[in-house]
């Protein structure tokens, strides 16, 4: 997991990867204490990060990949790490949607209550290369210390967006061209029969009750995960992994 420390007397933490860092730069550049960039990268995405950082007066520090890896404990930093105010975690959906290159892959969690499940979902989303995880502010666990620990670093690499009105957020995604697919036991088609290519948001419900009615009605379509054993359902993080990696498979990644 990314380390934490102090900067100018304020508690800080590290975030990394282009989606997380670009979203922070565009939303709250003043909350970035310093930006570390790989001295071996000068591609378009890195130039975009540097351009925004320079315009916002963010201090930029060039570093080699070994130093970057030591800072966050993983090679998946993509060559860009930001030290930010530890008290600042809020992200906006519009900021995330604007930073996505190519077809969006989003995981939406409607009312997950268990922080262990949330942390596991973040890990799955990171492994699948999802661009963000979106959840409602109310009736959900939130990104607390337990969820961050279980996520094992994914809370710092996968943007986590909380929204006041989930149905409205889904409509915002749809207006941006994202196809919204919900999961429900009674759906006619299985997730393996659905088309999961193109800009996509996968919506999973809470551990017990599934998606709320309005969330369900806002989805473009519903799919189910086939169950062939004696149990009726699987853990939400397992379900997230099944759906996300089926989308990854269909995309040929």
- Residues annotated within the binding site are 205, 225
Distance between CA 201 and CA 105 in Å, rounded? Answer: 6
**Is residue 154 a contact partner of residue 73, using CB atoms and an 8 Å limit?**
no
Count of helix runs (H) and strand runs (E) in the chain: 10, 11
Annotated binding site for S-adenosyl-L-methionine: 205, 225
Nearest one of 1, 63, 54 to 25, comparing CA atoms = 54
Distance between CA 251 and CA 253 in Å, rounded? Answer: 6
Helices (H), 44-196: 44-56, 65-72, 93-99, 115-128, 145-151, 154-157, 166-175
Per-residue tokens: 184: 């429900």
Residue 50, C-beta contacts closer than 8 angstroms, at least 6 positions apart: 37, 60
């Amino acid at each position: 997991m990314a380390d934490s420390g102090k900067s100018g007397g304020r508690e800080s933490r590290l975030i990394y990867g282009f989606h997380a860092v670009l979203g922070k730069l565009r939303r709250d550049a003043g909350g970035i204490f310093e930006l570390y960039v790989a001295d071996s990268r000068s591609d378009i995405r890195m130039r975009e990060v540097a351009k925004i950082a320079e315009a916002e007066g963010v201090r930029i520090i060039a570093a080699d990949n070994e130093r970057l890896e030591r800072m966050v404990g993983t090679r998946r930093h993509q060559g860009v790490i930001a030290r930010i105010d530890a008290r600042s975690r809020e992200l906006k959906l519009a900021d995330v949607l604007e930073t996505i290159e190519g077809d969006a892959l989003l995981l939406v969690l409607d009312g997950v209550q268990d922080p262990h499940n949330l942390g596991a979902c973040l890990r799955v989303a990171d492994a699948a290369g999802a661009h963000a995880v979106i959840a409602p502010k109310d009736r959900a666990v939130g990104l607390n210390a337990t969820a961050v620990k279980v996520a094992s670093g994914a809370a710092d690499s996968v943007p986590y967006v909380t929204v006041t009105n989930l149905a409205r957020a889904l409509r915002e995604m749809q207006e941006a061209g994202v196809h919204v697919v919900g999961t429900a036991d009674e759906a006619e088609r299985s997730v393996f029969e659905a088309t999961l290519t193109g800009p996509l948001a996968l919506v999973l419900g809470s551990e017990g009750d599934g998606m709320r009615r309005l969330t369900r009605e806002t989805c473009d379509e519903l799919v189910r995960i086939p169950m062939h054993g004696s149990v009726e359902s699987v853990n939400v993080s397992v379900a997230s992994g099944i759906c996300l990696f089926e989308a990854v498979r269909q995309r040929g990644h």
